[in-house]
């Protein structure tokens, strides 16, 4: 049996955030990269689900970029948004 066909919406395959791994083995979606203008450090906004007491809990956190491992081919990360957190507290595209 071949690969399942991608489901097209308005003629396009919908974008899904790529998967990254954390040191504890958690797999998460990479929502965006964020550079902090004050020190130049890169951070990653990630999201994952965790089941607790038979109920899913949704987590969205900001972690240092070097704390995540890319688990998909490099091209999967091409569309991940990049932004800058300015010293003035404003967020803008990178």
Segment among 1-5, 54-58, 83-87 with least mean pLDDT: 1-5
Phi-psi region of 40 (alpha: psi -120 to 50; beta: other; left: phi over 0): left
Check residue 7 and give its pLDDT: 66
Q: What is the model's pTM?
A: 0.82
77: helix, strand or coil: helix
Dihedral angle over CA of 54, 58, 63, 65, nearest 10:
100
Q: Please give the helix or strand (H or E) that residue 50 lies within, else none.
A: strand 42-52
Residue 17 carries which DSSP code?
A: P
Looking at the predicted structure, is the pLDDT value of residue 42 above 60? yes
Strands, DSSP E only, in 12-87?
19-22, 27-36, 42-52, 55-64, 68-70, 82-85
DSSP assignment letter at 80 = -
């Amino acid at each position: 049996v071949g690969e399942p066909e991608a489901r097209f919406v308005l003629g396009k395959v919908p974008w899904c955030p790529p998967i990254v791994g954390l040191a504890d083995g958690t797999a998460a979606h990479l929502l965006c990269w964020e550079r902090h203008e004050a020190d130049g450090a890169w951070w990653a906004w990630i999201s994952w689900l965790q089941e607790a007491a038979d109920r899913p809990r949704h987590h969205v956190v900001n972690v240092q970029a070097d704390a995540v491992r890319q688990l998909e081919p490099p091209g999967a990360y091409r569309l991940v948004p990049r932004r800058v957190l300015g010293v003035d507290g404003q967020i803008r595209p990178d």
